[in-house]
Structures are given as C-alpha cells and as structure tokens.
Amino acid sequence: MDVSNILASHAAKYQSVTVEKETPLEVDPGLLMVTDLNPIEAETYNENLEEHLQSLARDGVQSLMTSLFSLPTKPSPDGPLAILPPPVYQLPRAKPLPKPKPLTKWEQFAKAKGIQHKVRDKKVWDEEKQDWVNRWGRNGKNREVEEQWIHEVPHNADVDYDPRKVARDERKERIVKNKKQQEQNIARQTSTRERKQEIEKTLATTRMSTASMGKFDKILEGEKKIRGVKRKFNPNEEPVTNEMKASLDLLNKMESDKKKMRKDPRGEEGSLNVRKAVKFASKGKGGVALGRELSSGKGRGGGKGGRGGKR
C-alpha cells in the first residue's frame, strides 16, 4: 500500500517544529522576543503580502515556543510555569528611573549604626500554648501581659493598683508613639519635597530676571534646563511705519502722564505731613488737646508772662 501521498499531505498540513533558515533566528526568551535578520524575498512579498507575513510570524512564534519548552519549569496552581532567563537585549526605558525616597529618621539611624532590616513574621511561637499565635491584633502576643490570669504587684503599689490597666495603657502609649513618629516622617518627607520645589521655582525666577533670560548664566550641578522661556527681539530691519508708530505711542504715553500730573498738582501743602506737624505742635498730645489749648489761650504770646499779660 502506497501511503506517500497521505504522508505528503499530512506534512503539508502540519509543518515541522524546526525552523530552518539561512540566518538562524535570534531568540531572547527573557523578553519573549524573536529577531529575524534574513532578507525579505521580493517575489513572495509582492505576490501575496498577507501570506508572506503569516509565514514569518509562524516561524518566529514556533522558534519562541521551542525555546520556552526547553526551559526549566516550576509548579503552580495553574500548572507548570517556565522560568525565564535574564534578557539578552537591553531595551531603553520609556521613562526615567524613579527617584529614591528620602530616608526616615529610623532608616538614617540604622544606616549609621549598621543595623539591618529584618521582616518580622506575623506569627510567633507560644511556649505555654505550644502553638503559633498572632504577634499583634486580637489574641496577639503583645496582649499577653494584660490578659494573663495572674500578675505581679510591686510592694509600693497603691491599693487600687490594676496591673492589667497599666499594661493596657503602656501598649496604647506605644501605639500612639509609633503613630506620631510615622506622621513626623511623612511630614519630613513632604517638607523636603516642598522645599525643593520652592528652591527650583526661585532659581527659575532668578534666571528669568537677567537680560539673556539665563542663557549665559552658569548652570549648577543637577539643575534642570528651563524650557519655554525666550526673549523676543525686534528684527534689525523693519518698515519705517513701525518705528514711527512706536515713537508716536511713546509720545502719547508721555503726554497722558503729563495730563495726570496736572490734574493732581502737589504743592507745598500737598507735600506737608499734617499728622507730623500736629504731633509736633501738641507735643504728642494730639489734635484735640492742641485745639483746647488754642481756644483757652494757652498757646498765645510766650515769654515770662505766660498768657501775655500787661506789663
């Protein structure tokens, strides 16, 4: 029985999983990327573009799947998962790296003392119960002292001394202290960020105050480039009508300022400080006291006679 035709049709229907090309495909399973460096066949491309693209895509996906199935796997609830290797190609980032957050007060202290951070487990072993219990929360290890059935009372304690209440108050004080320190850390980070923004804004304003808009100023280390700030200059060659219009506008402005000064003349009386004069004349007593003195005649005629009496 000749089955060559059947095998040929089967082979044509199901292509081989091995992709053979003049230039082997470069597969990077870490990025799930395949690079085909073979030149494009012009005849196949012009004859049937869709079929040509499908063939290229099929070869690339087949090479990628072959490399994935050759990787080591690990079990998971959804089935075996392939462990991807580190990527070969270094792709550029779309955005810059995030800036590191400022260290908290405790992190600065731990860094100076060489203290390493250790993540505490949520469960701790209880020797009495011989079981794992919660470290915090309901029935937690931190409430062990206040929930125990017997307590040690100091000799100098008061009659109404309650050890459970004392232990509970100490636990609440620790909670309040930790919360206060957390709020201080958040406020310190916020103030540092706001201070930095204020400095950048002040620096940008200072740059714009120069004639060149900061173009020729010395750039500080780490300073950002100011964008969107340009100084406009009039062209060197422009029509005479524009220059004449600018001169007329200047003359009109000067004339309007002159008219305003005429409407609001300021002579000697306008420049006199009345309050200062009244204060000086009344020797600091005020205008009412000065008026009373003038009406009573105390301010008239000086000399030894006081009120200017007859000699």
* Torsional sign, CA 282, 285, 287, 288: negative
Residue 296 within any structural domain of the chain: no
pLDDT of residue 1: 56
Residue 61 within any structural domain of the chain: yes
> Do 83 and 73 contact (CB within 8 A), yes or no?
yes
Cα 203 from Cα 219, distance rounded (Å): 11
Cα 40 from Cα 36, distance rounded (Å): 10
Looking at the structure, tell me whether residues 112 and 143 fall in a common domain.
yes
> Do 136 and 144 contact (CB within 8 A), yes or no?
no
pLDDT of residue 228: 58
Both tokens assigned to 277: 């004069």
Long-range contacts (CB closer than 8 Å, 24 or more residues apart) made by 138-147? 142/171, 143/171, 146/171
Cα 256 from Cα 264, distance rounded (Å): 13
Cα 65 from Cα 34, distance rounded (Å): 10
Block residue for tokens 């992190």: 107
The residue segments making up the domain with residue 25 are 6-82
Q: Which residues in the chain come in under a pLDDT of 70?
A: 1-3, 7-16, 208, 211-216, 219-232, 261-273, 297-311
Looking at the structure, tell me whether residues 66 and 141 fall in a common domain.
no
Looking at the structure, tell me whether residues 109 and 198 fall in a common domain.
yes
> Do 214 and 226 contact (CB within 8 A), yes or no?
yes
Residue 191 within any structural domain of the chain: yes
**pLDDT tens-digit map of 88-146:** 888 888 888 888 888 888 888 888 988 887 777 778 888 777 888 887 777 777 777 77
| Tally of structural domains, the chain | 2
**pLDDT tens-digit map of 180-209:** 888 888 887 777 777 777 877 777 777 767
Domain stop point among 144, 169, 202:
202
Cα 245 from Cα 278, distance rounded (Å): 52
> Do 287 and 276 contact (CB within 8 A), yes or no?
no
Cβ burial of 82 (10 Å; 0-12, 13-18, 19+) is middle
Q: What's the one-letter identity of residue 73?
A: T
Domain stop point among 175, 202, 229:
202
Looking at the structure, tell me whether residues 157 and 121 fall in a common domain.
yes
pLDDT of residue 168: 83
Looking at the structure, tell me whether residues 78 and 109 fall in a common domain.
no
